[in-house]
Amino acid sequence: MPDSILSHEPVIRLAAFAGILTGMAAWGLLAPRRDFPAGCLRRWPNNYSIVVPDTLLVRLAFPLTAVGLLLQPFRSPQAPGALPHEECR
């Protein structure tokens, strides 16, 4: 891929997410499939209060898990890990 696309990758992802989110929200407001007694102004903040911490937790947990699995053979020779034991020492 060209370097210009890779250097702007976070902005491209955010723009794609915002565009799809806006389109889906507009679609849900203009053509609802059923009536919701709580309404959108009550449901959407609740949904985002679940999604935002979950996203942050996943962004932190996956890299830490990968590093932990990679370094496991250095801690104990009997422990399974991502690297073969012979190459670790």
**Alpha helices, DSSP H only, in the chain?**
3-7, 9-30, 40-75, 85-88
Query: In terms of domains, do 68 and 88 share one?
Result: yes
The better pLDDT of the pair 60, 22 is held by 22
The model carries a pTM of 0.51
Residue that the structure tokens 């903040």 belong to: 45
Both 20 and 57 in one domain: the answer is: no
Q: How confident is the model at residue 23 (pLDDT cuts 50, 70, 90)?
A: very high
The residue type at 68: G
Domain that holds residue 1: 1-34
- Do residue 50 and residue 85 come from a single domain? yes
Whether 51 and 24 map to the same domain: the answer is no
